[in-house]
Amino acid sequence: MKYLHIVGARENNLRDVTLRIPKERLTVFTGVSGSGKSSVVFDTIAVESQRQLNETYTWFVRNRLPKHEKPHADALEELTPAIVVDQRPIGGHSRSTVGTMTDVYSVIRVLFSRHGTPSAGGATAYSFNDPSGMCPECDGLGRTVRPDYERILDPSKSLAGGAIAFPPFAAGTWQGQTYTNTTDLDTAKPVRDFTAAEREFLMRGRGGTVNVANTGGRRDIDFEGLADRFERLYLNRDLSTLSGRTRDLVGRYLTEGTCPACDGARLNAAALATRVEGLGIAECTRMEIGELIPVLRRIKGAVAGPIAEAAVTALERIEAIGLGYLSLDRETSTLSGGEGQRLKTVRHLGSSLTGMTYIFDEPSVGLHPRDVGRLADLLLRLRDKGNTVLVVEHDPDVIAVADHVVDMGPAGGADGGRVVFEGTPGALRRADTLTGRCLRRTGGVKERPRAATGHVTVEGARVHNLKDVTVRVPTGVLTAVTGVAGSGKSSLVSGALCAAHPEAVVVDQSSIGISGRSTPATYLGIMDTVRKVFARETGTEPGLFSFNSGGACERCEGRGVILSDLAFMDPVTTVCEACGGRRFKDEVLGRTVRGRNVADVLDMTAAQALDYFADLDDKGVRRRLRALRDVGLTYLTLGQPLSTLSGGERQRIKLATQLHRSAATYVLDEPTTGLHMADVDGLVALLDRLVDAGNTVVVVEHNLDVVRRADWIIDLGPEGGRHGGEVLFEGTPAQLLDAEGSFTAEHLRRAVA
Ligand code: ADP
Ligand code: ADP
Ligand code: ZN
Ligand code: ZN
């Protein structure tokens, strides 16, 4: 057996971690949040592997690559090139679809160009990213942005009486004179009384005359139609040349819709008309993958057959990973983090690389227990191709298939950073570690669920795949919405429920749209107090203690790191040499309060800060720090960049800012993401406290440990996509145990047995 060797690793909180990780095996890293799993896998192994790879380039190339810091460790040996498959949103522009990112679309294109009749010509003719294939109307975007003339023009009014509602062209403005002073239209007549010809002249007219008042008397100018002028000034030009304010203003008078020329299919008429076995390319990309597979299987023939087969093989991988409900034309920017990660996995499964190290960050996120088994199979297949697979994971079903488990702990932050167990999953279940104990425990369903205080009714919901869903969501209790991926949980909760109940507080995992300088301290508003305290105690100005202004290190502008962005690689950060990552100027660092300077305070975890501020006369700061503790983020330091937080951590820090509400409805999408089994208890306790304080909590959740402890369950299904979108069950967890035809019921029965 060969191994990756890690000796004396000390990144972040790691305490001289020494490990031998078997090559060509599946190793799962477990442990509570903040115990150091990512520090080993991402910050040590992946970083060093990338660094060693860069060293193999020539001096010339190397000087153009970002300089990776060598991870803190005594030795890192026998590493193989690492590929990180994480949950960072694929994002991407609107030209990136499920089909293009998995490369299946290029196979389908070949099928149509080689075998389609009538053929639209050259291969690229079926690419919406190529001028020879794209719809000329929408440039291959499938959508067009058009002026909303209903909003720009109020037909009940006359031109002189203010019919034009778009401010830059309104009566009384310089441009507005064209329409209030034209001699070719009756400017006192309501626009709705115009004849078709008059209306056409107003919108598209040219020439004519307009009497324009200017300082030197009257002057005649040419008339330009309202629509022509709007389109010339605001549509047919590079919008980035407009000021932000103008763009926002214009945006309010535009509507986006499906392109009328290609009906959203993005391709030109010749490409759309081509048929393979009576089937058009747009029909193929619009179908759910699960339905496209049998259609492509029917395509036979010496040329088309093998190509269709290649597409089927790729599509079957997508289906196997539980994403058969997606269509190839789905834009990747609309996928969840978990869906994106699974799609990236599919791409690697298709590759023939061996001898790599694949690193996954909680690949079970967003997966129903039914599909976790299939995910585990895919990880094992990657291993069987001769790769080393490292997975950070909390799900017992993934842990169970590992060849080797590394359990980090014993707790988070400074109390973690050690390997507390190494061995097989079977041995871990007998081990005296937190993870071992959690794997052994069992629990039944909630016996005395709370009674609802009322209901919010969602009526006839049709968001995405929902099939006219009417459901009563109880208030004053904890409700779990369950179902396989794609069944419609998010559509019901984030879409329909929030529309029916606008006061709902949505706490999701989306990025916190703020600058790279944001930290828990700034996000929670703790920093203001810190600055005031430091100014008062040291007799200076609060601004000095802000890394956004006065006191910031000049080299890195208070970021502590230098970011290098490269077109073909992920951006890389290196610690600022001037301040050593401390973000402040020396003169600021020299000022201390109770023996600590402001950078020391930012290095404190929430728990340490609670001690430091224990006798501070500011209850607000202590309340906010306690909120961090309540959501299980005590291990975060006050100064850790928010951009380094995982999706689950982002969601919990958002929750921390919302805890003070009462009589609110909280909506959370998979709040257990990134949580160890032991942390899940803390989360459920927090949700229970929120409910006991008079709030309503609705969670979308797969974790059966949460589901069994909810007061009420709404189960959607039976499958994803078109075969989902129905309510299968509404009731208490105990009632769910008896439900028929629900995958959730089936797995809950197994879990509590
Ligand atoms: P896990 O993956 O087990 O949740 P991590 O390895 O992410 O744990 O974190 C271990 C410790 O290191 C935690 O205390 C965490 O706050 C800290 N840490 C992680 N990333 C950073 C970072 N970029 N800067 C500062 N501290 C960090
Ligand atoms: P779940 O939350 O149960 O995983 P979703 O509500 O996300 O399910 O998805 C339900 C269906 O709606 C799926 O077929 C999915 O592909 C589709 N869908 C979800 N979001 C979008 C979107 N932004 N655009 C188009 N279809 C979507
Ligand atoms: Zn079009
Ligand atoms: Zn600096």
DSSP letter at 288? B
pLDDT of 568:
47
Assess contact for 54 and 62: CB atoms under 8 A.
yes
Ligand 2 atom with the smallest distance to the CA of 288 is 14
Long-range contacts of 434-438 (CB under 8 A, 24+ apart): 434/31, 434/32, 434/409, 434/410, 434/676, 434/678, 435/30, 435/31, 435/407, 435/409, 435/676, 435/677, 435/678, 436/407, 438/676, 438/677, 438/678
- Cα gap 34→540, rounded to integer Å: 36
**Residue 412 Cα, ligand 1 centroid: separation in angstroms?**
9
Any bridge partners for residue 147, and if so which? Answer: 254
**Given a cut of 50, is residue 370 above it in pLDDT?**
yes
Residue whose CA is at the smallest distance from ligand 2 atom 26: 464
Q: Which two tokens stand for residue 84?
A: 């990180």
**Residue 299 Cα, ligand 3 centroid: separation in angstroms?**
28
Query: Residue 103 is part of a domain; what is its CATH number?
Result: 1.20.1580.10
Radius of gyration of the chain (CA): 30
- Cα gap 289→295, rounded to integer Å: 10
Look at the chain and count its residues. Answer: 753
Assess contact for 35 and 408: CB atoms under 8 A.
yes
pLDDT of 85:
87
Q: Which two tokens stand for residue 357?
A: 């190290």
Q: Which helix (H) or strand (E) holds 114?
A: helix 104-115
pLDDT of 92:
63
- Cα gap 737→708, rounded to integer Å: 10
Which tens digits make up the pLDDT trace of 608-646?
A: 999 999 887 778 889 999 999 888 888 889 998 888 787
pLDDT of 64:
63
- Cα gap 426→437, rounded to integer Å: 12
Residues 646-673: what's their mean pLDDT?
88
Q: Which two tokens stand for residue 439?
A: 């794997």
**Are residues 428 and 339 part of one domain?**
yes
Residue whose CA is at the smallest distance from ligand 1 atom 23: 644
- Cα gap 426→149, rounded to integer Å: 68
In terms of average pLDDT, the best of 308-312, 412-416, 649-653 is: 308-312
**Residue 721 Cα, ligand 4 centroid: separation in angstroms?**
49
pLDDT of 702:
93
From the CA of 418, which ligand is nearest? 1
Residue whose CA is at the smallest distance from ligand 1 atom 24: 640
**Residue 36 Cα, ligand 1 centroid: separation in angstroms?**
6
Q: Identify which of 6, 10, 12, 420 to mutate to test ligand 1's pocket (most ligand atoms within 8 A of the CB).
A: 12
**Are residues 229 and 157 part of one domain?**
yes
pLDDT of 41:
96
Ligand 2 atom with the smallest distance to the CA of 491 is 6
**Are residues 267 and 136 part of one domain?**
yes
From the CA of 286, which ligand is nearest? 2
Residue 282 lies inside a defined structural domain of this protein: yes
**Are residues 167 and 133 part of one domain?**
no
Residue 93 lies inside a defined structural domain of this protein: no
**Given a cut of 60, is residue 569 above it in pLDDT?**
no
- Cα gap 389→615, rounded to integer Å: 49
**Are residues 378 and 244 part of one domain?**
no
Domain boundary among 320, 344, 361: 320
45: left (phi over 0), alpha (psi -120 to 50) or beta: alpha
Q: How many CB atoms lie within 10 A of CB 545?
A: 27
In terms of average pLDDT, the best of 3-17, 68-82, 246-260 is: 3-17
Residue 391 lies inside a defined structural domain of this protein: yes
With 0-12 CB in 10 A as exposed, 13-18 as middle and 19+ as buried, what is 3?
middle
Any bridge partners for residue 565, and if so which? Answer: none
Which tens digits make up the pLDDT trace of 388-404?
A: 999 999 999 999 999 99
**Are residues 183 and 103 part of one domain?**
no
From the CA of 676, which ligand is nearest? 1
Q: For the chain, what is the mean pLDDT?
A: 89
Q: Calculate the CA 327 to chain-centre distance.
A: 19
Say which residues have a Cβ less than 8 Å from residue 664's Cβ, sequence separation at least 6: 503, 504, 505, 658, 695, 696
Which tens digits make up the pLDDT trace of 5-15?
A: 999 999 989 99
**Are residues 265 and 135 part of one domain?**
yes
pLDDT band of residue 567 (cuts 50, 70, 90) is very low
Residue type, 7: V
**Any residues with Cβ below 6 Å from ligand 1, and which?**
12-13, 31, 33-39, 408, 412-413, 635-637, 640, 644
**Given a cut of 50, is residue 116 above it in pLDDT?**
yes
Domain boundary among 207, 242, 258: 258
Assessment of whether the complete model's pTM goes beyond 0.90: no
Whether residue 118 is preceded by a cis peptide bond, meaning omega within 30 degrees of 0, is yes
Report the largest interatomic distance among the alpha carbons of the chain, rounded to a whole angstrom. 96
Q: Which two tokens stand for residue 560?
A: 């502590």
pLDDT of 66:
61
Q: Which helix (H) or strand (E) holds 146?
A: strand 143-147
Any bridge partners for residue 221, and if so which? Answer: 210
Q: Calculate the CA 517 to chain-centre distance.
A: 20
Residue 119 lies inside a defined structural domain of this protein: yes
What domain count does the chain have?
5
**Any residues with Cβ below 6 Å from ligand 2, and which?**
325-326, 330, 334, 464-465, 483, 485-491, 720-721
Assess contact for 240 and 254: CB atoms under 8 A.
no
Per the listing, tokens 């069944």 go with: 487
Q: Which helix (H) or strand (E) holds 404?
A: strand 404-409
**Residue 40 Cα, ligand 1 centroid: separation in angstroms?**
10
Residue 511 lies inside a defined structural domain of this protein: no
pLDDT of 61:
67
Residues 511-535: what's their mean pLDDT?
84
Say which residues have a Cβ less than 8 Å from residue 34's Cβ, sequence separation at least 6: 13, 411, 412, 413, 416, 635, 636
Q: What percent of the chain has pLDDT over 70?
A: 95
DSSP letter at 431? S
Domain boundary among 237, 258, 279: 258
Q: How many CB atoms lie within 10 A of CB 580?
A: 12
Which tens digits make up the pLDDT trace of 687-736?
A: 999 999 999 999 999 999 999 999 999 999 999 999 999 999 999 999 99
**Given a cut of 80, is residue 254 above it in pLDDT?**
yes
pLDDT of 515:
66
**Are residues 640 and 525 part of one domain?**
yes
From the CA of 264, which ligand is nearest? 3
**Are residues 252 and 312 part of one domain?**
no
**Are residues 158 and 44 part of one domain?**
no
pLDDT of 562:
81
Residue 308 lies inside a defined structural domain of this protein: yes
Query: Residue 153 is part of a domain; what is its CATH number?
Result: 1.10.8.280
**Residue 280 Cα, ligand 3 centroid: separation in angstroms?**
16
pLDDT of 217:
62
Query: Residue 725 is part of a domain; what is its CATH number?
Result: 3.40.50.300
Q: How many CB atoms lie within 10 A of CB 275?
A: 15
Say which residues have a Cβ less than 8 Å from residue 454's Cβ, sequence separation at least 6: 474, 475, 476
Residue 272 lies inside a defined structural domain of this protein: yes
Range of the domain at 532: 520-644
**Are residues 265 and 279 part of one domain?**
yes
**Are residues 67 and 203 part of one domain?**
no
What is the sign, positive or negative, of the torsion defined by CA atoms of 217, 219, 224, 230?
Answer: negative
Residues 322-347: what's their mean pLDDT?
87
